[in-house]
């Protein structure tokens, strides 16, 4: 029998997040396997009580929660912590959901930056008594920049593979395998090259904004 | 006179956090510090939007104009910042984290490699001393340990501790004196 999945998009960006691109890809794969999927923005849900109730209802009625978020200061963004607190409050008894999968994407190219974020997700699962299905980390998430993965393609070949494998693990009711996690965590390019390109990008954006000379300003000193 | 900023990041009024905050105020004031206490949940604080405007549009300043701006300025010009927060799944409370994220501009956008890991250099040469105190009701050991590791990664150089809400007043005072000493305040 098919299972239902609620994807929580935890990026504070109003639109065009890498979190959503990763979610969309996995949702597509799951749908093509006959699974039922839906998506909610955590940021929008926090804006009104009605929207938050809708999020909580969906979480309650789904078999799997997929929490997709950017790494913010080594852990989940504040808005995700707030949503998790509200979920815990609503389900102080055992949560009816079967499991949670965490998908993190981060700016830095080394996967280990996200260790504590995944531990926090695991702790949340313990607090609300839901199964932790696994955690996927995508380093250097900036290369996606809100585009569909199939459009970015080459650079994220490994992430596409990782998400496709994770979809099959989910469909089979298995925990996320280490092969999927490894493929996901493969940096889209070598860290040194990524740093060079990222630094060039910041300068390019500053030039566009006419702030090149102010980049290192200390407005509060 | 040295300045201390105490940030109460608890998501709801918590008598224990209030007590620890006032005790800190008292200890610091007795030692000649000018102390300002701010309750984050009472401020107008929007979430970071992940736009990186604080790096490339208005370098060092967040583009969202709410109460965070004034507080970020105060934070940079303080000698000591104390975060008082709940421990949520090993992470800080919503309000502490919300404000932390708004301070992204205190780092520079450039990526550098340090100790084998990519990092951003700091914008300000001289960072305030930082004490990060988690206050937890029923301390789940794993969460407390995770909080300490996380806090010291988020604020390198910060002294971090988790205090049990049920600890006696004397014990709390003793612990605060140890922590202040550790962070570099002469007590
Ligand atoms: C406030 C803030 C804090 C961040 N902290 C980290 C961090 O600790 N480690 C990291 O690798 N990237 C960090 N980043 C970068 C984001 O994780 C990265 O840009 C990510 O790709 C954004 O994903 P999204 O498009 O889904 O929001 C941070 C970004 C912001 C705005």
Contact A162, A183 (CB under 8 A): yes
Among B54, B59, B78, most A C-beta atoms within 10 A, so best to mutate, is B59
Contacts of A89 (CB under 8 A, 6+ apart): none
Domain ranges in chain B are: 3-183
User: What is d(CA B157, CA B139) in angstroms, rounded to the nearest whole number?
Assistant: 24
List the single residue in A12, A81, A208 with the smallest CB-CB distance to B49.
Answer: A12
- Establish if A173 belongs to a structural domain: yes
CATH code of the domain occupying B3-183: 3.40.50.360
In this structure, the number of other CB atoms found within 10 A of the CB of residue A212 comes to: 14
Number of structural domains chain A divides into: 1
Among B70, B77, B78, B118, most A C-beta atoms within 10 A, so best to mutate, is B118
Contacts of B91 (CB under 8 A, 6+ apart): A75, A76, A81, A116, A120, B97, B146, B147, B150
User: What is d(CA B100, CA A89) in angstroms, rounded to the nearest whole number?
Assistant: 24
Domain that holds residue A188: 4-212
- Establish if A189 belongs to a structural domain: yes
> Per-residue pLDDT averaged across B117-139, rounded?
92
- Establish if A221 belongs to a structural domain: no
User: What is d(CA B161, CA B136) in angstroms, rounded to the nearest whole number?
Assistant: 11
> Per-residue pLDDT averaged across B151-171, rounded?
93
- Establish if A219 belongs to a structural domain: no
User: What is d(CA A154, CA A221) in angstroms, rounded to the nearest whole number?
Assistant: 44
Lowest mean pLDDT among A7-11, B61-65, B149-153: B149-153
Q: Whose CA is nearest to atom 18 of ligand 1?
A: A107
Give, for all 221 residues of chain A, the pLDDT tens digit: 899 999 999 999 999 999 999 999 999 999 999 999 999 999 999 999 999 999 999 998 899 999 999 999 999 999 999 999 999 998 766 666 789 999 999 999 999 999 999 999 999 999 998 999 999 999 999 999 999 999 998 899 999 999 999 999 999 999 999 999 999 999 999 999 999 999 999 999 999 999 999 999 999 98
Query: Is B47 near chain A, with CB under 8 Å?
Result: yes
CATH of the domain at A37: 3.40.50.360
Contacts of B42 (CB under 8 A, 6+ apart): none
pLDDT in tens, A177-200: 999 999 999 999 999 999 999 999
> Which of A71, A75, A81, A144, when mutated, tests ligand 1's pocket best, judged by the most ligand atoms within 8 Å of its CB?
A71
pLDDT of residue A95: 64
- Whether B123 shows a pLDDT value over 90: the answer reads yes
Ligand 1 atom with least separation from CA of B100: 1
- Establish if A218 belongs to a structural domain: no
User: What is d(CA B21, CA A213) in angstroms, rounded to the nearest whole number?
Assistant: 41
- Establish if A220 belongs to a structural domain: no
pLDDT in tens, A87-98: 999 876 666 678
- Whether B70 shows a pLDDT value over 80: the answer reads yes
B24-29: Cβ within 8 A, 24+ apart: B24/B82, B24/B176, B27/B173, B27/B176, B27/B177, B27/B180, B27/B187, B28/B4, B28/B80, B28/B180, B28/B185
Q: Whose CA is nearest to atom 27 of ligand 1?
A: A11
């Amino acid at each position: 029998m098919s299972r239902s999945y609620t994807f929580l998009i935890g990026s504070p960006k109003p639109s065009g997040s890498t979190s959503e691109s990763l979610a969309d890809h996995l949702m597509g794969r799951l749908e093509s396997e006959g699974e039922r999927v839906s998506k909610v923005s955590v940021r929008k849900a926090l804006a009104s009580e009605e929207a938050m109730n809708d999020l909580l209802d969906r979480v309650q009625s789904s078999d799997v929660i997929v929490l997709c978020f950017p790494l913010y200061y080594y852990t989940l963004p504040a808005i995700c912590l707030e949503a998790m607190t509200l979920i815990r409050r609503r389900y102080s008894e055992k949560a009816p959901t079967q499991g949670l999968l965490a998908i993190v994407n981060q700016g830095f190219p080394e996967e280990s930056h996200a260790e504590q974020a995944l531990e926090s997700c695991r702790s949340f699962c313990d607090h609300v008594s839901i199964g932790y299905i696994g955690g996927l980390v995508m380093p250097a998430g900036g290369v996606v920049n809100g585009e569909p993965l199939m459009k970015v393609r080459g650079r994220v070949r490994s992430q596409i593979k990782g998400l496709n494998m994770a979809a099959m693990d989910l469909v089979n009711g298995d925990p996320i395998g280490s092969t999927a996690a490894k493929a996901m965590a493969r940096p889209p390019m070598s860290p040194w090259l990524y740093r060079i390109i990222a630094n060039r990008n910041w300068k390019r954006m500053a030039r566009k904004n006419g702030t090149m000379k102010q980049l290192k300003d200390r407005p509060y000193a | 006179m040295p300045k201390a900023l105490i940030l109460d990041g608890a998501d709801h009024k918590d008598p224990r956090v209030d007590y620890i905050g006032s005790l800190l105020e008292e200890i610091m004031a007795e030692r000649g510090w000018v102390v300002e206490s701010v309750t984050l949940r009472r401020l107008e604080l929007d979430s970071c939007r992940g736009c990186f405007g604080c790096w490339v549009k208005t370098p060092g300043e967040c583009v969202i104009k709410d109460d965070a701006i004034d507080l970020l300025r105060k934070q940079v010009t303080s000698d000591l910042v104390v975060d008082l927060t709940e421990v949520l799944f090993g992470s800080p409370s919503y309000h502490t984290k919300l404000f932390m994220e708004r301070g992204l501009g205190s780092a520079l956008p450039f990526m550098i490699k340090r100790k084998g890991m990519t990092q951003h250099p700091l914008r300000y040469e001289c960072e305030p001393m930082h004490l990060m105190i988690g206050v937890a009701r029923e301390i789940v050991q794993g969460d407390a340990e995770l909080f300490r590791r996380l806090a010291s990664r988020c604020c390198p150089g910060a002294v971090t501790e988790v205090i049990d809400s049920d600890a006696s007043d004397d014990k709390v005072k003793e612990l605060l004196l140890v922590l202040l000493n550790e962070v570099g305040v002469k007590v």
